[in-house]
Structure 1
Amino acid sequence: MAFLIGEAMTGGYGGADILHDCTISVEKGQIAVIVGPNGAGKSTAMKAVFGMLGLRQGRVLLDGRDITALSPQDRVAAGMGFVPQNANVFTSLTVRENLEMGAYLRQDDYSITMEQVFDLFPILQEKAAQPAGELSGGQRQQVAVGRALMTQPSVLMLDEPTAGVSPIVMDELFDRILEVAATGIAILMVEQNAKQALNIADRGFVLVQGRNRFTDTGQALLADPEVRASFLGG
Structure 2
Amino acid sequence: MSEKYLIGDKMSGGYGRGPNILHGCTIACDKGEIAVIVGPNGAGKSTAMKAVFGMLDVREGAVRLGGEDITGLSPQARVGKGMAFVPQTNNIFTSMTVEENLEMGAFLREDDMKDSMEQVYDLFPILKDKRRQAAGELSGGQRQQVAVGRALMTQPTVLMLDEPTAGVSPIVMDELFDRIIEVARTGISILMVEQNARQALEIADTGYVLVQGRNAHTGTGKDLLEDPEVRRTFLGGT
Instruction: Specify the TM-score bucket, using the shorter chain as the normaliser.
Output: over 0.9
Answering whether residue 106 of structure 2 is matched by residue 94 of structure 1, we say no
Q: Any idea what SS the aligned residue of 1:198 has?
A: helix
Q: Any idea what SS the aligned residue of 1:20 has?
A: strand
Equivalent positions of 1:45-124 (< 5 A) are 45-124=48-127
Equivalent positions of 1:136-155 (< 5 A) are 136-155=139-158
Please name the residue that 2:208 is paired with. 205
Equivalent pairs, count: 234
The alignment-based identity, stated in percent, is 75
How far apart are 1:15 and its partner, in Å? 2.3
Distance 1:197 1:228 in 2: 14
Please name the residue that 2:25 is paired with. 22
Distance 1:167 1:48 in 2: 29
Alignment partner of 1:7 out of 6, 9, 14: 9
Q: Where in structure 1 do 4 or more consecutive aligned residues deviate above 2 Å?
A: none
**Which amino acid in 2 is paired with 1:124?**
L
Distance 1:168 1:224 in 2: 27
Distance 1:202 1:190 in 2: 14
Distance 1:94 1:2 in 2: 37
Distance 1:105 1:56 in 2: 30
1:133-190 superposed Cα distances (whole Å, 9 cap, x missing partner)? 0000000000000000000000000000000000000000000000000000000000
**Which amino acid in 1 is paired with 2:112?**
D
Alignment partner of 2:224 out of 221, 224, 233: 221
**Which amino acid in 2 is paired with 1:7?**
D
With normalisation by structure 1, the TM-score equals 1.00
Answering whether residue 236 of structure 2 is matched by residue 233 of structure 1, we say yes
Structure 1: gaps (5+ residues): none
With normalisation by structure 2, the TM-score equals 0.98
Q: CA RMSD in A?
A: 0.4
Q: Any idea what SS the aligned residue of 2:9 has?
A: strand
**Which amino acid in 2 is paired with 1:205?**
Y
Please name the residue that 2:169 is paired with. 166
Equivalent positions of 1:122-137 (< 5 A) are 122-137=125-140
Alignment partner of 1:42 out of 40, 45, 52: 45
Q: Any idea what SS the aligned residue of 1:6 has?
A: strand
Structure 2: gaps (5+ residues): none
Q: Any idea what SS the aligned residue of 2:58 has?
A: coil
**Which amino acid in 1 is paired with 2:135?**
A
**Which amino acid in 1 is paired with 2:174?**
D
1:13-48 superposed Cα distances (whole Å, 9 cap, x missing partner)? 232110000000000001000000000000000000
